[in-house]
Each structure stands twice: as C-alpha cells, then as structure tokens.
Chain A
C-alpha cells in the first residue's frame, strides 16, 4: 500500500513526478498551520475594523466614545492617528488605509479597534455613532453606464488601433453589432484576510501575513508608519487560498494591524470576519462591451470595433494592469487584422476591484468568444468552424502578430483544438444534440469548444525577476527560501522538486522555509502564473552556484573536469570518484567551501511600452482548449454542466498531478464566475451600494454536485520552446479561461430554444434568471 506517511524515499529524477503537495499530510490532519493557528504571543490584542454605511458622502460625526469605553478595548484609531502616509494603493496614492472624511464606498474602513479579544473588538465596532452628509445632486455612481455618462474614471480611457479599420468595415460583406456584460467575482479564499503584527526591539516590526506580496506589505507598512523598509519584515508560510485577492489587498489589513501594534507596543492580530472581508475587499472587475464586427461569408473576422469598460471601483488599485491584460487578450487565439479598441476604466462608488486569477485576461477573451459565436450563428456555421477559421497562423507571417505587436511564435492552438475535437467526438455529439433538441421542448442541450491562448509574464517588465536562497547543511540536507508564496498552487512542492533534482537528492532531503522578506529581498508578487517560472529558475541558479563549487572540489580530488561531475541518486560521481552527497558536503565544509548561495533570475526577451501598450510583454503563451456540454431548463433557467473535456498545454510538466489540479480547480472556479456566482448591490435607497451577496449564504461558488458527470483532463504533450524552467509552462491562471466553453455552451442551448433568427443576448453570470431572460421569458428588462 502506498501509505503517504511511510517514508519510502524515491531516487531518480525528481522533476516530472506527480508528487503530492508538500503539505498534504499536514493539510489532511489539521496540522498545517495558518496564521490564526499559530500560538499567540502573550499580550496579543485582536483588531476589528469599523466600516462605513454610506457609499458616497462626508463623515460629519464620528463619535467613538462608546467604542473606547467598552471594557477590554485597548486602542481605537482613525485616519488622524496615522503617522506616515495614509495610503495602501499599490500604484496610485488614491486608496486610504482609513478614510479621513470622504467616504467612497459602502463598507470602507473609517476606524479600527484593538481589544483583548476578537469578540470584544467586534462588539465595540458596533457602538460607533457615525453620521454622513450626502449630496442629492451627486448620488453614488453604482454602475458603468452612469460612470461613462459622467466620465468618471480611475485612469484615463485608452485607445488602440491596428490596421485600416474603416476600410475593413467598408469592404466586408457582413456586419454585426452587439453588447454584453460579465459580472465580477468574489475570490472566496477559504482563509480570510489576516495579519499578525509583532513589535520587536528598536522600532521594528515583524508581520506574519496571509499575502501574495510580502515585499509590498513591507513597503506599505513602512510608509504608513513613516518608517523605512529595514524596520519591517513580512513572513508568510502558506495561505488558505488567495487567487489574486491577497496581492495588493492584503496590505490594508497588514497596515491596520501594524498601526495598532506600533501604537500599543503589543502584538496585534487582525482577522477579518467573512462578511467584512467580502464587503471591504475588491473583486474581479465586472466588464461591459459594445462592438461592431465585420466579416466574410466564411466567418473570417475582417474588422472589429470594441468599447470595453471595466468597473474599477473607487480607486485605481491594480486596475491599470488588469485592463492592459484584458487588452492583450481580446484576441485570445485569433488573429485580429483590423481592430479599434477603446478601454474605459470606470470609477464607481464600490469597493476597489483588484487582481483575480486571469487578471483581466478572462474578461478580454469573454468578448471575442461571444463576437465569434454571434458571427457563426448569423452565418449558420458551426461556431467551432468559425473559431478555427480565425486562428493565428502557425508559421511566421502577417497573420501571426498580435494587435500589440508581439509575434506569436509558439502557436499550437490549431493542432491542440483538432486533437481535442477528435478525442471528445465533437461533430457526432453536435449532431446527436440537434436531434435531441428537436424533440425536447423543456430541456435543451448545448455544446461548445473554445480555445485558449494566455500570455505568460507580468505585463510590467520589471516584476519579472526573482531571488532564492539555498542552504546546504553539513548533513546534506537542504533548506530553500525564495520570494514566491504558497497559496495552495504547489509552488513550494515544485521548487522542492527542482532543487532536489539539481542535487540528485530525494525530495525528502529538501525543505522549504517560509517566505520572508528578511531572507529574500525585493520580491515580486506571486501572481501572473509566474511563481514557478521565476522562483524555480532562481532556486535552480542558486543550486548551480553551489554545485559548481562542489564539482570543482570533486574535479580536484578525482583529477577530472568539473563538467564530468554528476549529481544523481544521492551520490556525486565522476570518473574514478563516488561519494554520498552528505559526505561530500562535509568534506567541502572542512575545505572551507561556501555551501549556501543565492540565485537570481530575470525573464529574457520581454519588453512592453506602458504608454502605447505595444511590445513583447510575454515570454511565451500557454495554450489549451475545452469542450463543454450543458443542458438548460427552459422553465426555470437552471443549467447543468454534463460533460467537460479539456486538453491543456502545461509544457513539460514539473508535476503533472499538481498541474491537473490547477486545471480542474481553475476550470470549476471559472465555471462559477460564469454561472452561479453573482454579486448584488442594493441599487437605490438609503443603503444604495451595499453589497448584499456578502457571505456564502448569498454568494454561491460551485459545490461538489456542480462538477460535471464526465470531467476529463489531459495534458498536451508540448515542451516549451522557450528556455523556461525544465521547459514547463505556467499553469496557475490559464485554465480558468477554459470555462468560457461553459458559457458558450449555455448560449448554444439558449439558441436551441429561441425561435430561428431571434438575436441571442445572454449576460454573465448565466444565473437561472439570466437564462430565462435570454429566453425572453421575463416581462421586465434587466434591472
């Protein structure tokens, strides 16, 4: 029996093995420690934020006397108490840690309390007396249409034109226009936002924080305290999920805990209640689109005019880069010959939206898939045929350059899609489905196969760097630190495999330490799917530095060339020489050879002009495709996903089990975004702008029974043509967008229920209500 606890050491290549997550045994036993599980330091206080109950207004009274008077309360802070800069915006300084007087969304932090227990802190918060002045002439802006009408932006509109668009429209035989909306998405990491600030000697602070971006926390906390970076260290061993929600937006909670800790001199833990977390932290950006398409009789897209607006909420946060990535993904796998794009970054009186798996990419792809689907339906062609017709060329030439001027050099979409279509029996099932639908008035089936091409690297070139620190101890065991954070994706597991592989050791001899800004400095966020690409290469580089020294020693001892030294199976071998790794290491130590080292990596080839949005922002593309079969109930609008087949390009996988896990998990998360996950704010009245889907009771992520009866995942054999870590490809975000096939399949089923020729208008998420509305069964328009 393959008991995971039995310490059966496996030698041989460690890269490519489907190893369990390095913490799996701890996860299942409850022994994996998250921040709230750590033993508390004596004197620890617990914090809770006070949130605004007004979406747009000015605070005219903030009476916190009763809050302070509650027994057990030790400290209450407002904006006036912030010694440094009152900002936690990562790019622009438009995001107050505590709102001073102007309130910009319902749920904004207006004060914070620390008390002896969390219950007392939360009870104290409720005792505040707050009054607001609102201006009836300036009601809160709560939707993108109002923001566009008022020209309310967090960042100026951006336009990009490629090719002779007007000419293309004039010459094209067919034209369509359309509009669509796609909703936002709550991250719903199972572990909510949490920070634990521990004052240390001589004006310094150690923060244990559930964050994807320790360095940014470190900088933000020092700015807020008016300190310098070397006074603050930030540590994270693991997160209970993040998905982008702990990239920039863990900062506010870290800053509040740090402010309270600095003020009281006591350790302060701030763990948000789930409802506060959902109300007060940003989400995936909702988008809306208007477009005109021009095409020929084969469905070839000749021209596209697109206005793409995003709801950024009240501040910029990461909305600039999110929208840039959306711009870079409106092509998905398709060549856009002539395109005129206008990107609007709407400022509304809602929580500031932020990073979320895909980072604008899903919203970019959403629209092109719908544009092409409309064209296919208009022409009476199979949507897959129209999609295929528009693929980028696989050879260099005019049809292989993106609208942002990057050559597509690794296009496998045509071959991958053909393989999946054959594997999943697309054509025969499509025919069978038409026959079924003809005789089924209440239930309708739908089928769709969509491709995926996703750019890998941060658009902002300077983030594409990483560092690692590798220690080889004299007993031959290895401890690795790097700048990446573990949020469940398996980064630590993959880096462990990479390091073990380099030294020829079993993974059991390699351990990962927590990520800590005092071990590796100036780290980039673990985001953009780049964790393993960057940190894996950095760790490998550190290993190679150490190996080079060991090889030189062996070469000296064995009288051979260092290039002849091999590290494998726990041994170090050269012609006429063999030693156990541990023995060699001890020998090297005694010879005063450095057994630890740092490694650094910067992604080659990439550049991107943030002004023109042109360049080669991505080192390479990840590809994939999914075919989804759904059924809808035309009486209630309920849907069910019956079967999904996925073929995904993870390059030469470092760990196929983890990669499959990312693909399946990303797919189901994407399916939730497009089906059951609906954010709903009060549209008017005194509580206008209040999020009502603020808990899992009202916000519905998928459960086990939503997983399709047939759910087949396969990795596509395709070594990365670029020199990535072991020729693998990033896999964190791309699979999320495979779920667009679910939405397109629902469209297909809706189309089967609509009278011929009737336009198909379905917004996402395709809730039962949205589907019934698309069927024309509701007598009132979209609210």
Chain B
C-alpha cells in the first residue's frame, strides 16, 4: 500500500486527483472542483438520480476482461471509490457538437425533458441500459433501469418511449478498447492509501491486506458501496477521519455456486448478488425487483446491507428465512454464525473489533422436505422505497404436508430483522392449511410490538405482517385460482374471461 493520488479514466485519458478530502463526493468534485456542471445535485442522498453517472470497471476472468458499465449516484460516492475505474458523465455522451448520442436524440424527439434538471441523470441511466442491452428492452426492464431517476414534470411516458426510440436510431456504441486498456493499466497500481486534508482512506487490493488493516485500525469506518455512509457525510455533516474502502478486494467480490451452496462475498454489489440469489432460488425475484433503485444496487453491496443491521434492511428477512450464515473474519481467522444471531439490538451487531464481514452463505433446502419460500416487501411506492414491512417466509413440508421447519422472518417490525418465534411455534407440526395460517397470524401479535413512524403505523404493520403470511399460503397452495398479486393484473378487456 502506498500513498499516492487517486487515478481514474476520465474524458479520454488517465486523470489524477490529489487534494480533496477522501470523503469529498464525486458530484462535488465534478461540479465544484472541475466545474463540469452537466451532472446535477437534486437530493444529495442517492434518491433522485439527477447526479447519475456511469462507472466503468473490468469484469470477467483474466485474459477475457470485459468492460462493465453501470449507473451510480455520484452524490454519495466518495472520490477514492473511483480509483482504478472509468467515469462517464453526461458531457461524454455526444460524439460531437452536432452529434448527440441516440438516447439524447430520442429524449428530444419524444419531448422527454421539460424543466430539464433531471434529464442528464436520465440520459446516463439510459446510456448504461443502451450499452448493456443489444435489443430494445421491455417496459418493465426500462422502468427498472429508471427506478432511481425522479422526474417531476413529464410523467415519465415520453422518457420510457425515448428509451425504446434510442434502439430505432442508428446504433452508436462506446469505443471500449481505450477504456479497457486504461483500466488494465490501472489494475497494476499499488493499493491506494490516499491522504488529504488530514484524513485518510485505504483501498486494500487483497483480503490479507484488508484483514491486516482492519486489525490495525479497528475504529476506521469500513465503506463498501457508500450508499448509507455517503449520507452520514452529505446529510449529517459527519467527518470521517479514516475509512477503509473494500471495493477493490477481489476475494470479496466473488460469487461461488456449487454443491447446493451459494457464497456471496461481502463486496458483491446488490445487482450481482440479487442475480445470484434469484438464480439460486427464483422466489427472490420479487424482492430483487423492488429492492432500492438500479444505481443504488449497482453501488451498494449485500454485505453492506447485512452488516449495517438496519431494522428495515430488506435483504435480511429473506436471508434469515433461508438459513443464511454470515462469515466474519478477523486476521486470518474466519468464523460463521446464523445471520439471525448476528443482530443483537438496534444497530448493534456481533461484529467484534478488528473483524469484518467476509461472505454470506446459503445452502440448498434439506432433501426429503418440500420447501416453500417467498420474500415480500410492502411500501408506499413500488420502486425505491423503504419497507413498512418486509418478510422472508420459509416452510418445509414433509410428505404428509405437515410443517417440519418454519423460518418466518420480518423487517420493520422490531429493532432488528427478526424471526417470529411464537408464530413459527404455533404452526410447527401442523398441516399447511388456512386453519394453521390463522393460528400463525394470531400468534404473530405476540412476536412483535412495532413502532408507528413516517412509513406506517403500528397497527398497519401488525395487520400486514399477518396478511403476508396469508398471501404466502395463497401463493403456495393455489388459493382457488384467483390472482393474488397486483403484478398479475393488466387492464380489463371486456369480453375476455375474467
């Protein structure tokens, strides 16, 4: 590890930064230091997308590296997180003064801007989509791409149309070769130890290096995607004197699948983690769709969501329901524990000084039993909202249809994500029937005494938690054939069968 400036690929060449504090955001640096003002600040908390930029990284095995382009929120990314990467902003899109990018042309043609303040952010999200998908995506995929971009003027329809229109225009792709060459060149840099304004950030480039640093600096703040810690700085005005960025540790970015086991490194982004989870157990799909926004999922990590230990973290109920183990490491010593045992109290975990989260591990269902699993999220808005209630529900049935194992975990109901012990006990050994579900629903009231807050009242949380159990039964038992999920419905067609 050596003290050196931050380096990244920007505007066609390698760009070096020395001077701004390590917690200066990419957005501040762009707008205030470089006076590149195309990228806007709308909220400074990663929720509106006006600051969307695209980050380029190498992905794939050595020798077969590909350029991966992903939209992230510049407003909550610290500058050192760019080290060794490529940064693209709205100013990079046009290939000449009179040659806008297809997504820009399409936005103009479809009247996709009114006040125009959010537009550069939309253009960047659409640019990432356009680069990553060869064919025009579905409406749902476009919506998902835009889940982190707010527009208050247009009502979105013209922007969605523009996303499609871009594919009808002559295809214009980024020249990737020079970017890849630059990224490969930077791959050989030593680990970054960046010091400015009396503050320091470390970006270890191996697990061993991280482990040693962590032991030496137990009080330094670990930062993975920065989608929460970023707000400590932009919103709470906190100063972080020493941070350790884990985003450059290759061992933490691994996903290992095999022998009925899935291991997700703590540095794996939520986007990649949910793809892996959904591959492992398709019932993650609903949560994967609703969890945060695309730019937040591209930056944030599953390990960060879990380590943060928020009572409203959306991934934990599902992980707990599936019996997830969390792997911690101190020095060279790993230890594992059941994820539900990791959470001790409100924002208090079992993480010891000098220890860090290394991975999350899921095992395939035990043979001989039939497992039903669902992961639900209920919030005021479909996309990018914080849950009022989240639920991860798993029951294992034997050949006679009796419940042999039940792991029913909820978020938003207590100081930590937690299993519903009374509810599980009430259902265990009974058949998977409406009567048993009713018993479970009644018992849930003994398990939780949630708060009322900005997201929902206590009463709503209690009712919905119980109702989700009912939905779980309806979805896994047929429930008489009538639709039970809003996403199954389309506008009614008179004359067709209801």
Contact = CB atoms under 8 A, between A and B. Distances in A.
Interface in B158-216: 158-160, 169-170
Interface string B112-131: 11111111100100000000
A612 interface: no
18 contacts: A2-B109, A3-B100, A21-B114, A25-B104, A27-B116, A28-B104, A34-B117, A39-B35, A126-B237, A190-B40, A190-B115, A240-B40, A425-B494, A432-B496, A642-B489, A669-B155, A697-B45, A700-B381
Contacts of B154: 661, 664-665, 668
B233 to A, nearest CB: 10
A586 interface: no
Contacts of B359: none
Contacts of A24: 107-108, 111, 113, 116
B104 A772 contact: no
Given A1-B169, A779-B463, A25 B100 contact: yes
Interface stretch (B140-148, B303-311, B331-339): B140-148
Given A188-B150, A241-B153, A442 B482 contact: yes
B454 interface: yes
A238 B115 contact: yes
Nearest to B124: A30
Contacts of A273: 44, 235
Interface in A653-676: 657-658, 660-661, 664-669, 676
A711 B40 CA distance: 29
Interface in A18-41: 18, 20-21, 23-34, 36-37, 39
B38 A30 contact: yes
A189 interface: yes
Interface stretch (A150-158, A410-418, A631-639): A631-639
Contact of B388 (A34, A704, A769): A769
Most A CB within 10 A of own CB, among B98, B157, B169, B482: B157
Nearest to A693: B454
Contacts of B380: 676, 678, 700, 767-768
Nearest to B460: A769
Nearest to A118: B32
Interface string B38-64: 111111110110100000000000000
Nearest to A6: B98
A435 B37 contact: no
B489 A443 contact: yes
A640 B486 contact: yes
A442 B484 contact: yes
A445 B403 CA distance: 34
A703 B150 CA distance: 6
Contacts of B35: 39
B278 interface: no
A772 B120 contact: no
A693 to B, nearest CB: 5
B98 A488 contact: no
Contacts of B157: 664, 707, 711
Contacts of A39: 35
Nearest to B457: A783
B152 interface: yes
A43 to B, nearest CB: 16
Nearest to A677: B380
Contact of A445 (B116, B382, B462, B492): B492
B378 interface: yes
Given A24-B108, A240-B116, A693-B454, A705 B482 contact: no
B115 A240 contact: yes
A190 B98 CA distance: 27
Interface in A763-783: 767-769, 772-773, 777-780, 783
Residue among A190, A695, A769 having the largest count of chain B Cβ atoms under 10 Å: A190
Given A20-B108, A30-B91, A705 B491 contact: no
Contact of A488 (B45, B99, B153, B155): B153
A717 to B, nearest CB: 21
Contact of B152 (A33, A190, A637, A708): A190
A695 B47 contact: yes
A39 B153 CA distance: 27
Contacts of B117: 34, 189-191, 240-241
Interface of B: 31, 35, 37-45, 47-48, 50, 89-91, 93-94, 97-100, 103-105, 107-109, 111-120, 123, 139-140, 142-144, 146-147, 149-160, 169-170, 235, 237, 378-386, 388, 452-460, 462-464, 467-468, 470-471, 474, 479-480, 482-496, 498
Contact of B484 (A187, A443, A445, A780): A443
A36 B117 CA distance: 11
Given A432-B498, A772-B460, A780-B457, A442 B119 contact: no
B383 A439 contact: no
Nearest to B119: A27
Given A29-B100, A695-B47, 6 more contacts: A29-B38, A442-B484, A635-B464, A661-B114, A703-B382, A768-B380
Contact of A669 (B152, B379, B483): B152
A436 B114 contact: no
B31 to A, nearest CB: 8
Interface in A484-527: 487-490
Contacts of B385: 700
A657 B154 CA distance: 11
A445, A778, A779: residue with the most chain B Cβ atoms closer than 10 Å: A778
A697 B107 CA distance: 27
Interface residues of A, number: 112
B115 A703 contact: no
B258 to A, nearest CB: 35
A98 B364 CA distance: 62
A631 B152 contact: no
A626 to B, nearest CB: 13
A396 interface: no
A458 interface: no
A196 to B, nearest CB: 14
A37 to B, nearest CB: 4
A661 B116 CA distance: 13
Contacts of B480: 441
B269 to A, nearest CB: 20
Q: Which of A31, A239, A635, A680 has the most CB of B within 10 A?
A: A635
Contacts of B491: 629, 642-643, 708-710
A757 interface: no
A96 interface: no
Contacts of A768: 378-380, 388, 456, 460, 464
Interface in A671-720: 676, 678, 680, 692-693, 695-698, 700-711
Contacts of A631: 486, 489
Per CB-CB distance, the 4 closest pairs between chain A and chain B, nearest first, are A30-B38, A488-B115, A240-B117, A27-B116
B498 A487 contact: no
Contacts of A27: 107, 113, 116, 119-120
Interface in A405-455: 425, 428-429, 431-433, 435-436, 439-443, 445
A711 B488 CA distance: 18
A122 interface: yes
A274 interface: yes
Given A34-B40, A678-B380, A698-B386, A5 B100 contact: yes
A777 B495 CA distance: 33
Contact of A443 (B114, B160, B483): B483
A136 interface: no
A275 interface: yes
B483 A4 contact: no
A488 B152 CA distance: 10
Nearest to B486: A640
Contacts of B142: 704
A698 B388 CA distance: 11
A709 B143 contact: no
Contacts of B44: 273-274
A243 interface: yes
B36 to A, nearest CB: 8
